[in-house]
Chain A
Amino acid sequence: MINLLLFPVLIPFLFAAVLLLFPKKVKAQRIVTMIGLLFALTSSFVLLYKVKVDGVQTLTLGSWAPPFGITMVSDMFSALLVTSSLIIALFVVWFSFTAIGEEREKAFYYPAILFMLTGVNGAFTTGDIFNMFVFFEVLLMSSYVLIVLGGEKIQLKESIKYILVNIVSSSLFVITVGYLYSVVGTLNMADISVKLAEIGPSGIVTVIAVLFLIVFGIKGGIFPLFFWLPGSYAAPPVPVLALFGALLTKVGVYAIIRTYTLFFTTDVGYTHSLLMILSIITIVVGCIGALAYFDVKQIIIYNIVIAVGVILFGASVMNENGMMGSVFYLIHDILIKGALFLFIGIIIKITGTADLRKMGGLMKRYPLLAWSYLIVAFGLAGIPPLSGFIGKLLIVQGGFEGELLWQSIFILASSLLVLLSVIRIFIYAFWGEEKGDHLISEKKYRHLLAPAITLAGITVLYGVGAEYLVPFMSDATNVLLDPSIYVDSVFEGVK
Chain B
Amino acid sequence: MEILMSILIGFLFMAAVYLILSRSLLRIIIGTGLLSHGTHLLLLTMGGLGGESAPVLADGITDYVDPLPQALILTAIVISFGVTAFSLVLAYRAYKVVGTDNMDLMKGNEDND
Contacts and interface: CB of A to CB of B under 8 A. Distances in A.
Interface of A: 130, 134, 137, 141, 144, 148, 151, 153-154, 156-157, 159-161, 163-164, 167-168, 170-171, 174-175, 177-179, 181-182, 187, 231, 234
Contacts of A187: 68
A168 B90 contact: no
Given A148-B90, A156-B90, A171-B39, 7 more contacts: A160-B25, A160-B87, A164-B87, A167-B35, A168-B32, A174-B39, A174-B76
Given A157-B106, A181-B47, A187-B68, A130 B94 contact: no
B62 interface: no
Nearest to A144: B86
B75 A167 contact: no
A141 B35 contact: no
Contact of A163 (B87, B109, B110): B87
B69 A181 contact: yes
A92 to B, nearest CB: 23
Interface of B: 20, 25, 28, 32, 35-36, 38-40, 42-43, 46-47, 68-69, 72, 75-76, 79-80, 82-83, 86-87, 90-91, 93-94, 97-98, 103, 106, 109-110
Given A156-B98, A164-B32, A174 B43 contact: yes
B47 to A, nearest CB: 7
A175 B35 CA distance: 10
A160 B106 contact: yes
Contacts of A157: 94, 98, 106
A229 B104 CA distance: 19
Contact of B72 (A130, A141, A154, A167): A130
Nearest to B95: A156
B109 A156 contact: no
B30 to A, nearest CB: 12
B20 A164 contact: yes
A60 B92 CA distance: 43
A154 B109 contact: yes
B43 A178 contact: yes
B27 to A, nearest CB: 12
Contacts of B72: 130, 174, 177-178, 181
Contacts of A178: 39, 42-43, 46, 69, 72
16 contacts: A130-B72, A130-B75, A134-B79, A137-B79, A156-B94, A156-B97, A157-B94, A167-B32, A167-B35, A168-B32, A168-B35, A174-B72, A181-B43, A181-B46, A182-B46, A231-B109
Contact of A160 (B42, B43, B79, B91): B91
A309 B106 CA distance: 30
A234 to B, nearest CB: 8
- Residue among B42, B68, B79 with the most chain A CB within 10 A? B79
B97 A175 contact: no
